[in-house]
Structure 1
Amino acid sequence: MTDADALSSMLAQRRQPGADKAAIEQAIFQRFGCQRAVMFTDLVGFSRMVEAFGIVHFLQVIQESEALFLPLLQQHQGVCLKREGDSLLVLFEQAADALHCALDLQAACTAANAGRVAEERIEVCIGLGYGPVLLIDDKEVWGAEVNAASKLGEEMAKGGEILATDGFRLAQPEAAYADHGYLFGSRPVYRLLG
């Protein structure tokens, strides 16, 4: 039985009338739960660039960015779980690895963009989270930090920015941060400095 099948069975049990939902939830976290750093990357200007230069041009930029990013992710022990369009979802066992990888990704973009025309620049937004997640078959990941990192990388960060959740900041307190507002109306967000 795969982890996905086991999770499905446990969730089916949880839906049954009279089920001890708290006990089943605890069993799910005991089996699938772990602490991970989550990174979500998103390239700047996808829709605008597709409209202006066509999808083939942007597919080229995606391919170039992945050729730049994937070796750095591997170098920092990151595991890329999903590649969707111009976005990557990456897990790290250690928050420090995610932090250093994010800084290296931004530095690699800066170096790669030297001398490039605006429409060929690789600019990335990065969201970082750290905390408990459910990891299923080493292929799927679920949790509040996954959702938060996705929102930070895809919606809140601007090109060249690395935004982090409060969970990530607690895991990497020695890094320099600036306040950057709130996520979901109540969760503090921080912009990584440097």
Structure 2
Amino acid sequence: MHHMNKIHPNGYLQRLESLIEERLKPGADKEKIDARIWDIFGANWSILFTDLAGFSRYVAEFGIIHFLQNILESQKIFEPCIDAHDGVLFKVEGDSMLILFKRPRKAVECAISMQYAAKEYNKDKADEEKILLCAGIGYGKVLTIGSRDVFGQEVNAASKLGEDVARAWEILVTDSVAEEIGDMPCIKLEKIDKVPPGAKAAYKLIYEI
């Protein structure tokens, strides 16, 4: 059992740092080192990035404590959706969540489930207490550094779609997600003009809410 002490999250970061330092040396074979980094840390994941609409307005009108209440309430109603669809809540920053899934379909199903949960929660709530979810989804090879961070073009694209492009109730996906979910029942894909860096195209998910 004493060997377990050698396995800890910092080991991932230390390994990455050592490879980056090796990459910086004069004459380093960067292509070979990059391949090693991807081999150790790279994997295909679907990334769901969520955001709550109306942050600035609610903070200005009702104060930051009221909005913190909305954040905590949203996490309570969304966590069961994440668990039910085999998602991993990787990171929470303010009113945003970054959730990982092995399959894009699970990410899409989870996002729709979260929108349904928000709609049910909002039924008897005043406008200022309603939870309005925006979501962006990407899929592709990313670098995961233990439980500390995740990097990749599809991460950036999902973040951009969820935080900056999507409006309340919208679920936006990259082209790599669209290719994987085209035959899912009860949904349609509508191409949008705003394409985030790292994606070739982006789509709005048409679903019943």
Fold shared by both chains (TM-score > 0.5): yes
Larger-gyration structure (1/2): 2
Aligned letter for 2:204?
A: R
Aligned to 1:137: 146
Identity score, percent: 42
Aligned to 2:204: 191
- Counterpart selection for 2:159 from 150, 156, 159: 150
Aligned letter for 2:197?
A: F
Q: In 2, are the aligned partners of 1:165 and 1:190 still within 8 Å (CA)?
A: yes
Aligned to 1:50: 59
Which shows bigger deviation, 180-189 or 74-83? Answer: 180-189
- Counterpart selection for 2:12 from 3, 9, 24: 3
Aligned to 1:179: 191
Cα deviation code 1:61-96 (max 9, x no counterpart): 111100001111111111111111100011011111
Cα deviation code 1:107-158 (max 9, x no counterpart): 1111111132111110010000000001111332110111110000000000
Aligned to 1:66: 75
Alignment of 1:102 onto 2:111: yes
1:185 CA drift (Å): 9.3
Q: Give 3-state SS (helix, strand or coil) of 2:28's partner.
A: coil
Unaligned 5+ segments in structure 1 are none
Measured on the aligned residues, the alpha-carbon RMSD in Å equals 1.4
Aligned letter for 1:32?
A: F
Aligned to 1:75: 84
CA distance in 1, matches of 2:77, 2:205: 21
Residues 139 and 77 (structure 1 numbering): CA distance in 2 closer, same or farther, change over 3 Å? farther
- The 5-angstrom pairing of residues 10-21 of structure 1 reads 10-21=19-30
Could you state the TM-score of these two structures normalised by the residue count of structure 1?
A: 0.96
- Counterpart selection for 2:46 from 28, 37, 53: 37
1:3 CA drift (Å): 1.1
Aligned to 2:94: 85
CA distance in 1, matches of 2:131, 2:89: 19
Which shows bigger deviation, 161-170 or 108-117? Answer: 108-117
1:187 CA drift (Å): 2.7
Q: Give 3-state SS (helix, strand or coil) of 1:41's partner.
A: strand
CA distance in 2, matches of 1:137, 1:183: 26
1:12 CA drift (Å): 0.9
Could you state the TM-score of these two structures normalised by the residue count of structure 2?
A: 0.89
Unaligned 5+ segments in structure 2 are 1-9
